[in-house]
Amino acid sequence: MSSTITPIEVGDQGNVVYLVVAQRAVFIDSGHDVDGEVDLLIREWIKAGRPEITEIILTHRHHDHVGGAEKLADATGGLIVCAPLEKCSIEEAIRGASVDRVVKDGELLDLGGVTLEYVHAPGHTMGSLCVFHHDERVLFTGDTILGGSPTTVIPGQGDMSDYLDTLRKLLTFDLSMVAPGHGPIIVDPRRNIETLIEHRLKRETQIFELVCEGFVSIDGLMLKIYPRLDTNLRRNGKMQIEAHLLKLESDGKVEVNEDGRYTPK
C-alpha cells in the first residue's frame, strides 16, 4: 500500500504540518489557533478526498504546534494524541480541549497497509514525540530536529542529557529523510544527526573550559560565546548555555553557588 505525505507550511514562523494519507490518514501537528491556518489544513484534507483522519499527532506542547488541534479535530473527527509527559502541558496550551489518547514509545499505528511508529524523543521538551514512517523511512521530528538550525533545549521544559540520548537513539533508525516541524526536508539524516551531536558536545566542552578559565555567570559566558548575537536571540542563547550548565552540573563537572556563579568541581 502506498501513501502520500503532504507538507503544509502555515504561519509566519515557518511551521510545517504534515498530512500522511494511506487508506486512513493522520495530521502531524496542527499549527497555531488561527482560523486561516486551520482552514488551510482542512482544504488540503478535502483536496486529498477527505480520508478518515484517525489521529492528530502532536509532537510537543508549544503553541505553534498544538494551537489548531481542537478546531482540526472538530472538523475532521481525528483523535488528539501525544506522549504521556506532554499531556498536561498540551491541555493547558489548548484550553477547553483534551488529549484523547497518549501513546507509548514504539507503539505502532496502521493506516491500512502503512505503518507509523511513535518514538518518544525527550530533550527539546520532556514529552517530545517523533513519528517514524516505516514504509517510506521518513522521520517526522517536530522541533527535535529542525531543517537549517539547531533546536532549543529549554531549561524547565527539556533536558540536554536527554536530548543527546534522543539524537543517539534516532541514529538507530534506518532513515531516508527527516521531515522537521520547521524548515526544509533533510535528505542526509545520519550526517545531520551526527553533526548535531558533535555540535552539542563541542559547545559543552567550550562552556566547561570557559568556566575553568573564570567565566562563572551565564551572562558572562553568553558574551564570550555569542559576542555579536542579535538582541532578539540573546534569550535563546542564555537558555542553551544554562541547559549545558545543568548537564555539566548533573555530570558532576561543575557546581553552582547560591549567587548563581558556576565553578569547576
Beta carbons within 8 Å of 215's beta carbon, 6+ residues apart: 221, 224
Do 164 and 209 sit in the same domain of this protein? Answer: no
Tens-digit pLDDT profile for residues 63-117: 999 999 999 999 999 999 999 999 999 999 988 789 999 999 999 999 998 999 9
Q: Where are the beta strands (DSSP E) in the chain?
A: 4-10, 15-21, 25-28, 53-57, 79-82, 101-102, 108-110, 115-120, 129-133, 138-142, 177-180, 254-256, 262-264
Q: How many domains does the chain have?
A: 2
Do 43 and 148 sit in the same domain of this protein? Answer: yes
Domain assignment present for 93: yes
Tens-digit pLDDT profile for residues 201-235: 999 999 999 999 999 899 999 999 998 888 887 88
Do 18 and 82 sit in the same domain of this protein? Answer: yes
Residue 1 pLDDT more than 70?
Answer: no
Domain assignment present for 123: yes
| pLDDT over 70 percentage in the chain | 100
Do 104 and 52 sit in the same domain of this protein? Answer: yes
Domain assignment present for 194: no
Do 41 and 148 sit in the same domain of this protein? Answer: yes
Name the pTM for this structure. 0.95
Do 169 and 104 sit in the same domain of this protein? Answer: yes
Tens-digit pLDDT profile for residues 102-135: 999 999 999 998 999 999 999 999 999 999 999 9
- State which residues form the domain around 150: 4-187
Domain assignment present for 131: yes
Do 69 and 103 sit in the same domain of this protein? Answer: yes
CATH code, domain with 178: 3.60.15.10
Do 22 and 132 sit in the same domain of this protein? Answer: yes
Residue 61 pLDDT more than 80?
Answer: yes
Residue 193: the pLDDT is 98
Do 215 and 244 sit in the same domain of this protein? Answer: yes
Query: Which of the residue ranges 5-14, 21-30, 152-161, 231-240 would you say has the lowest mean pLDDT?
Result: 231-240
